[in-house]
Amino acid sequence: MKVLPFKIPKPEQNAIVFQIDYDEIFYDKLHQHEEIQLSLIVEGEGTLIVGDTINHYTKGDILVIGSNLPHVFKSDVNASKVSHMLTLFFSKSSFGTSFFEFEELKELQTFFKRSKHGFKVTSKHKALKELFFQLENASKFNRFLILFQLLKLASTTNYRSLSSFIYDKKITDNEGNRMRNVFEYTMNHFKTEITLDTIAEVANMTNNAFCKYFKKRTNKTYFTFLNALRVENACKLLISNTEYNIAEIAELSGYNNLSNFNRQFQIHKQQSPSEFKKNNKL
């Protein structure tokens, strides 16, 4: 199933689509699709932006991304040479518009409610992984049965939401391309200085128009988003890399001023970089 920016075409007659991604990187363009996405990260790690929020993904993560929720994976090729993901796509109307309203399926409503913001499963990993690994060799009928087992389990797990804000209007292809260009430029250049003039030019807008446009669609300013991305990169380095000190990690995350780095880190993580490193020792 080819993935296009902001659309996933569903093969005819297929209510459920099973997809295996196996490459150096995952599809790295901002996109959305009507189908709900259930994914297991078999190998790989990197940054995942869902809606307005920056997340880190790694091997073993089980992720659910809701219908028409914009998202992008940015694989860290330095951390893993292979990116491998197993995914099921389906929509709430795949089996009929009222299918999931039947009384027998009411217990799955928790899953759909959580999926609106996307979520990361934080418990019952073993059972869920076993179901994912059965998918590749399963018949279409058995994939249907496995889907409902996954939904039932995912409705009762502990979880963490992936996004804090949902833009309540469907993003058009033109808007999607503009936001995709902004996100892609930011993810590729956050380690260097990015000015308002620069990013507004990427969006092909005036500075003032861009600020309003970005805030309306993400519920945060562009520079709040940029700092969140930089802080998440610093967190990854603080946890996984011992050869750099905090000043070096600040520089590698786009900060040429240590006090500003400490201030932004405190804002986004409610603790200092040194406290975060101490509390997250591997």
The model's pLDDT over 45-64, given as tens digits with 9 standing for 90+, comes to 999 999 889 999 999 999 99
The Cα angle at residue 135 between residues 129 and 139, in degrees rounded to 5: 155
Give the pLDDT confidence of 163-174 residue by residue, as tens digits. Answer: 987 766 666 677
Mean pLDDT lowest for which of 69-73, 247-251, 260-264?
69-73
Average pLDDT rounded to a whole number, residues 206-231? 94
Distant-in-sequence, close-in-space partners of 257: CB < 8 Å, separation ≥ 6: 250
Q: Residue 256 gets which letter from DSSP?
A: S
SS3 labels along 49-101:
EECCEEEEECCCCEEEECCCCCEEEEECCCCCCCEEEEEEEECCCCCCCCHHH
Is a pLDDT exceeding 50 seen at residue 159?
yes
Answer yes or no: pTM beyond 0.85: no
Distant-in-sequence, close-in-space partners of 139: CB < 8 Å, separation ≥ 6: none
Residue 254's CB is within 10 A of a number of other CB atoms, namely 21
Given a contact cutoff of 8 angstroms between Cβ atoms, the answer to whether 82 and 89 are in contact is no
Instruction: Determine the pLDDT at residue 282.
Output: 58
Residue 203 token pair:
């969006």
Q: Model confidence at 2, in pLDDT bands (50, 70, 90)?
A: very low
Given a contact cutoff of 8 angstroms between Cβ atoms, the answer to whether 231 and 266 are in contact is no
Q: Model confidence at 202, in pLDDT bands (50, 70, 90)?
A: very high
Mean pLDDT lowest for which of 84-88, 194-198, 238-242?
238-242
Percent of the chain with pLDDT over 90: 70
Is a pLDDT exceeding 50 seen at residue 145?
yes
Start-end of H helices in 135-194:
140-154, 173-189
Instruction: Determine the pLDDT at residue 167.
Output: 67
CA distance 164 to 160: 11
Give the pLDDT confidence of 120-135 residue by residue, as tens digits. Answer: 999 999 999 999 999 9
Percent of the chain with pLDDT over 70: 92
Residue 30, judged by CB atoms within 10 A of its CB (0-12, 13-18, 19+), counts as: buried
Instruction: Determine the pLDDT at residue 25.
Output: 87
Instruction: Determine the pLDDT at residue 42.
Output: 96
Given a contact cutoff of 8 angstroms between Cβ atoms, the answer to whether 182 and 202 are in contact is yes
Average pLDDT along the chain: 89
Helix (H, G, I), strand (E, B) or coil at 245: coil
Is a pLDDT exceeding 50 seen at residue 5?
no
Give me the phi and psi of 271, to 5 degrees please: -160, 165
CA distance 216 to 210: 10
Average pLDDT rounded to a whole number, residues 149-177? 84
Average pLDDT rounded to a whole number, residues 166-186? 79
Domains in the chain, CATH or no CATH each: 17-161 (2.60.120.280), 190-279 (1.10.10.60)
